[in-house]
Amino acid sequence: MHGIIVLKCGGSTVDGLSDRFFANILSLKKAGLQPVLVHGGGPAIKEMLTMLEMESEFVDGLRKTTKPTMDVVEMVLTGQVNNALTRKLNRAGIPSVGLSGSDAGLLTAKAKDFNRYGYVGEVEGVNVSFLMDLINLGTVPIIAPIALDEDGARYNINADTAAGAVAKALAAEQLIFVTDVPGVMQDDHLLESITEIEIENLIAEGTIYGGMIPKVRAAVASLTDELEEVMIVDGRQSKLSEDTKLVGTIIKKAVGVV
């Protein structure tokens, strides 16, 4: 059995995911594909930190995570965002289970740079056999990006990084970044396929700009020899093509470049 696709849902898109998005996941599943979801939760974490009057800072685009901040991150990701996604999928008729990376040693990590980022981790291992057991039961795993190190300390993992690690470990045939944009646009036209070199050219000429730049660069960073393409799709108005593939922009490695 194969055909695993990993979908990364950004924190800002979770609340805006359309009914059609969940219907499309069901269609993909009925077509024999095996979805796995990894989600973020940045806006909800920010909202909770503000409500609790806790300060936090960003270093190099990552939230510096102290122990008290980690408590909030875990509470929001596993108690709020993960539960909401799991409810929505189950309600759409998709048997799903919400997981934290600390469940069954699902994600193990080490500190990225403790002095600089605190409890922000890099994924060192993925419990593939546990995930495959769930997939073989017909269950969709929904993963909150929290991991433990060998001493049991918790780490906040960037959701893009976690999704890339899960996709690589499962030898997924595709990693899909579910965002709030249809894909990469040029002159109001959706680019169906694009290479990493073309992306840098489009950034240089200003066609890809603003918040789209980190999205496409995160997608490119996820490409490996095993994972040859990554896709960006719109979670608010996701579409399926006739051959049951989500419609968006496929990002591929440049072929034949020396």
Select the more confidently predicted residue: 155 or 212.
155
Give the pLDDT of residue 112: 92
> What CATH number labels 4-252?
3.40.1160.10
**For residues 245 and 207, what is the distance between their CA atoms, to the nearest angstrom?**
26
Nearest to 78 by CA among 100, 102, 105, 50: 100
Select the more confidently predicted residue: 173 or 141.
141
- pLDDT over 90 percentage in the chain: 48
Give the pLDDT of residue 255: 65
Give the pLDDT of residue 1: 45
Residue 113 has pLDDT above 50, yes or no: yes
Give the pLDDT of residue 258: 41
- 179 touches 215 (CB < 8 A): yes
Per DSSP bridges, beta strands 185-186 and 121-126 are: unpaired
Q: Measured in whole angstroms, how far is the alpha carbon of residue 23 from the centre of its chain? A: 19
Domain-by-domain residue ranges, the chain? 4-252
Q: DSSP character for 56?
A: -
How deeply is 57 buried, as exposed, middle or buried, from its count of CB atoms within 10 A (0-12, 13-18, 19+)? exposed
Per DSSP bridges, beta strands 107-111 and 193-195 are: unpaired
Strands (E) in the chain, as ranges, are 4-9, 34-39, 58-59, 62-63, 96-100, 107-111, 121-126, 140-144, 146-148, 154-156, 174-179, 185-186, 189-190, 193-195, 229-234, 249-252
